[in-house]
Chain A
Amino acid sequence: MLLFGKVQVGDALPTLEVPVTARTVVMGASSSRDWQPQHHDYAWATTRAGTKDIFLNTPNQAGWFRMRRPVYPGETLVFNGTVRETAVDESSCAWVDVDIELTVGEDVATEASARLAIPQDDKDNPWRRSGDDWRP
Chain B
Amino acid sequence: MSSALEEEIGARTAALVPKWTGASLDAGPGDVECERGYILHWAEATENANLLYWDEGVAQDVTGGWIAPPSMLSVWMRPLMFNPNAREQVRPLEMHFRLKDAFDLPEGIVTGNEIVFGVPVRPGDMIATKQTVTEIGDVRTNRLGTGRPWTIDVTYTNQRDEVVAVESYRMFCYVRNAS
Residues of A within 8 A of B (CB): 18, 24, 27-28, 30-35, 48-50, 58-60, 62-67, 125, 127-128, 130, 134, 136
Q: Which of the 9-residue segments B4-12, B17-25, B74-82, B126-134 touches chain A?
A: B74-82
On whether A127 and B62 interact (CB within 8 A), knowing A59-B74, A60-B46, the answer reads yes
Indicate whether B110 reaches chain A with its CB closer than 8 angstroms: yes
On whether A33 and B111 interact (CB within 8 A), knowing A28-B45, A125-B62, A127-B62, the answer reads no
B144 adjacent to A59 (CB under 8 Å): no
Question: Quick one: closest B residue to A49, CB to CB?
Answer: B107
> Which residues of the partner chain B approach A31 to less than 8 Å between Cβ atoms?
38, 41-42, 44-46, 75
Chain B contact residues: over half helix, strand or loop, or mixed? mixed
> Which residues of the partner chain B approach A64 to less than 8 Å between Cβ atoms?
71, 113-115, 167
B72 adjacent to A59 (CB under 8 Å): yes
On whether A28 and B63 interact (CB within 8 A), knowing A50-B144, A63-B113, the answer reads no
On whether A60 and B45 interact (CB within 8 A), knowing A32-B72, A127-B120, the answer reads yes
On whether A27 and B117 interact (CB within 8 A), knowing A59-B71, A67-B110, the answer reads no
Q: In B112-167, which residues have CB < 8 Å from any A CB? A: 112-120, 144-145, 167
A64 to B74, CA, bound (A): 11
A34 to B46, CA, bound (A): 14
A65 to B119, CA, bound (A): 21
A125 to B32, CA, bound (A): 30
A55 to B63, CA, bound (A): 33
Query: What 11 new A-B contacts, CB under 8 Å, besides A58-B74, A66-B111, A125-B62?
Result: A18-B47, A30-B41, A31-B38, A31-B45, A32-B72, A32-B75, A34-B74, A50-B145, A50-B176, A63-B71, A127-B63
> Which residues of the partner chain B approach A33 to less than 8 Å between Cβ atoms?
32, 38, 75, 78
A31 to B92, CA, bound (A): 15
Instruction: Point out which of A34, A59, A134 has the most chain B C-beta atoms below 10 A from its C-beta.
Output: A59
